[in-house]
Structure 1
Amino acid sequence: MELDNNERKKAMDIATWWGLIVNLLLSIGKLVVGYIGHSQALIADGLHSLSDLVSDAMVLMATHHSNIDADEDHPYGHARYETFATITLAVLLSVVGIGIGVDAINHLIDYKSIAVPTQITLVIAGISIISKEVLYQYTMLVARRVKSKLLEANAWHHRSDAISSIVVFIGIAGAMLGYPLLDSVAAIVVALMICKIGWDLGHQSFQELVDTGLEPETLQAMETTILSVDGVNQMHMLRTRKMGHSALADVHILVSPKLSVSEGHQISEAVEMALTKKFDEIIDVTVHIDPEDDELTENSCKHLPLRAEVLSRLKTHWKDIPETQQLLHTTLHYLDGRIDIELVLPLNIIQSGKKANELSQQIETASQQLDCIGSVIILYK
């Protein structure tokens, strides 16, 4: 079931607050114990948790703004806040990772000054592994339920912290067993992991900022759904773009060329309803009704005059046909680069003795003196 913005925001806030509290405790514990216990890897892991803490604060801010309903200045909503926050988080992770890596390499160069970590650092690393994995599972569960890429990114940040804590645990254990360089090596591995996550998150969100569309398999499923709607003969120019946890779509559909405007509109409404019902991420669909394939240049009707000009020019050619003064209705069909016209005349014209075929021929001959006129159909009512 699709959550409304308030329910979505509440679920995201709860998950983020839990992450913030755990990260605060872990950051303090790792940094303090890492310093006291002489573990560079645990200090690096503490900085990683500190970046988690900053990211949690950013998620709270972005969640607040991104779930505000659309307004006059933001007609498509505020979901881009999530994308922007995710990119900022990616940059933060990359900077932290590079800093940790450089510091660890410096320690490796001056390896004689490396101290052996104490046992308490191993205990803190173990606690971090368990708590961060639990936090990852919980946050990912909520992220998938509310369909938030930002919260999902934050969940992976928790998982990365759990994995980095495993590396730290191994590095500390190795240092305590007589291989002190392993602590600095573990710090470098953590740094590389942090930079990799930062790159992945930044690349994905940047693609979203430049209006990258939905995945090919999703587009194929959308095409199948559109073509299943009664009245849709063909479709083309299906375009989508992601916006935070949502997506926007527009499509051209071909319908029978002489449908009424209201029936064409009804078909477009049916297409929109079918897409938004089947694809939860799609929140807005623009459907363009085509009577023919407008991708083909030879079918283009863009150069043809509009109704007022067409009728004005036709009346000039009809001046010798008095029956056209009683015209009840005119329908214009812009097809294949021409204008097909349907004229409705009073039935009493032919009831009074005027031959229908003769009158139709007169009107058709006069009308087709205009180069833009195609077929002419006369109806009587």
Structure 2
Amino acid sequence: MTDGSASVAPLSRRERYRATRLATIVAAVVNSLLAVTQIVSGWLFQSQALIADGVHTLSDLVSDGVVLVAARKASASPDRDHPYGHGRIETLATVVVGVMLAIAALGIGWFAVQRLLDWELMTGPAPAALAFAVLTLVAKEGLYQYTVRVARRIGSPLLHANAWHHRSDAISSLVVLVGIGGAVAGWPWLDAVAALVVALFILRMAWRLVFKSAAELIDTALEPEQVATIRDAIAGVPGVKSAHMLRTRRLGNEAAADVHIQVAPKISVSEGHQIADEVYRAVMASLPALRDVTVHVDPENDEEQLRSVGLPLRPEITECLRAAWHDAPELAAVEQVGLHYLGGRVHVTVTLRLDDEQAGAELNRRAVELAELLRQRSDFQDQLGQILILFRARTSDGRP
């Protein structure tokens, strides 16, 4: 979801919860006072529209309760059972608010249709009801303006949804005002027609809220421009040849991403890890909403190259090396065996200690013989790539 969540400074979960709680408490107090005022004034001045709007306002109290509980739960830190945090609670609550909007819209529409069918039986309210309708309209619109400002400041789609709930209430109060005015002027059917229009507007808003939140619940990716920002951040890290398999998803007002980066195929593990750390820091800095980034290091583009599935691991290869060189004196001189899994094959590098008396030409010849011996006696000849035999010279004090 993007409504109300763009261009905001990152806030802690506790700060967001406090702001959401304050806005929700203010809304609950205002709605409580309005509901009592509407129902009492509607009863005193014979306005069924005011009474119905008062009942509608009572439903907002339930909405405010949902927002308050969801905000408190969503502000909790990640734990063992919820390693990505609790942001999805806010998303789920947004769906609930959207459903409540839809129910309210259907109720308004149904009531309007019933009034249109029986408009001859309508009785007009007292003119004094207009004053209470105006009071309700002003209070509801003021509540919307206050709530939507807070939602934009903290980047809360849930609070933004609740703000639109207040706006829908303001519009329904406008319908009540028009209906009461029309009834006083002698056209009671205006109330019902306007109510139908408002019901459709509220239903459209409910659909947008539910649709966007449902998309988030099924891990819909971030907006294309946000994904492009992440790719640019990755491309700016030295040592990254390319990036692929980038996946993003929203977690309430936060987001997570994972990506594969391609580096030079024969760099050390520690260098690859260092590059991945730099990618993590660059991506986290590029989007304040990101709370988790997983970076997988690839020596080649595994979307295009053959995956190294089923290739022998180090224990099997070293055992094969010992078996192949069991009668070769160089076996005792093996210092290191390097393995590179590239292009669907295993590339083996063996480092041997070098004795001073051995000539370079002899070493080269022997290296070729040893490599061929390993290839011929291995059980996975087709999977072996380059075999490189290295000799390390000793210093005068005997240290390598």
3-state DSSP of counterpart to 1:299: coil
Q: What letter corresponds to residue 325 of structure 1 in structure 2? A: A
| CA drift at 1:304 | 0.6
Secondary structure, counterpart of 2:128 in structure 1: helix
Deviations 1:211-251 (A, max 9, x none): 11111221122111111111111111111111111111111
Partner of 2:167: 159
Structure 1, 121-130 or 262-271: larger mean CA deviation: 121-130
The aligned residue for residue 196 of structure 1 is: 204
Is 1:334 matched with 2:334? no
Does 1:231 pair with 2:239?
Answer: yes
The amino acid of 2:182's aligned partner reads G
Structure 1, 145-154 or 86-95: larger mean CA deviation: 86-95
Distance 1:9 1:316, change over 3 A: same
1:345 lines up with 2:352 in the alignment:
yes
1:309 aligns with 2:288: no
Indicate whether 1:366 and 2:377 are aligned. Answer: no
Q: Deviation of residue 68 (structure 1)?
A: 0.8
Residues 43 and 380 (structure 1 numbering): CA distance in 2 closer, same or farther, change over 3 Å? farther
The match for 1:61 among 66, 69, 80 is 69
In the aligned structure 2, how far is the partner of 1:351 from the partner of 1:114? 115
Partner residue in 1 for 2:306 = 299
Deviations 1:19-74 (A, max 9, x none): 11111112222233234333343334333322222111111100111111111111
Q: Which amino acid aligns with 2:290?
A: I
* RMSD value, Cα: 1.8
Residue 145 of structure 1: aligned partner? 153
CA contact (8 A) 2:229 2:286 kept: no
The SS at the match of 1:204 is: helix
C-alpha change, 1:199 and 1:43, in structure 2 (3 Å) is farther
Name the counterpart of 1:357: 364
Residue identity matched to 1:327: V
Contact 1:40 / 1:183 at 8 angstroms: preserved in 2? no
State the partner residue of 1:245: 253
Q: TM-score by structure 2 length?
A: 0.89
- Alpha-carbon distance, 1:336 to partner: 0.5
Query: Is 1:292–1:299's contact at 8 Å kept on the other side of the alignment?
Result: no
Cα deviation code 1:128-164 (max 9, x no counterpart):
2322222222222221222211111111111222223
Query: Residue 188 of structure 2: which of 180, 185, 188 is its match?
Result: 180
Q: Which residue type is aligned with residue 114 of structure 2?
A: N
Secondary structure, counterpart of 1:368 in structure 2: helix
Query: What TM-score, normalized by structure 1, do the two folds share?
Result: 0.94
- The answer on whether the counterparts of 1:31 and 1:43 sit within 8 Å (CA) in structure 2 is yes
> Contact 2:98–2:161 (CA<8 Å) still a contact in 1?
no
SS at match of 1:340: strand
Runs of 5+ unmatched residues, structure 1: none
Q: How many residues align?
A: 379
- Distance, in Å, in 1 between the alignment partners of 2:297 and 2:330 is 35
- Report the CA distance between 1:353 and its aligned residue: 4.5
Q: Following the alignment from structure 2 to structure 1, what is the Cα–Cα distance between the partners of residues 298 and 273?
A: 11
Deviation of 1:185 after TM superposition, in Å, equals 2.3
| CA gap 1:326/1:189 in 2 versus in 1, 3 angstroms | same
Give 1:351 deviation, angstroms: 4.0
Query: Given the alignment of the two structures, is residue 257 of structure 1 paired with residue 265 of structure 2, yes or no?
Result: yes
Rounded Cα–Cα distance in structure 1 between residues aligned with 2:199 and 2:76: 36
Calculate percent identity across the aligned residue pairs.
46
Structure 2: which 5+ residue stretches go unaligned?
1-8, 393-400
1:208 correspondence with 2:219: no
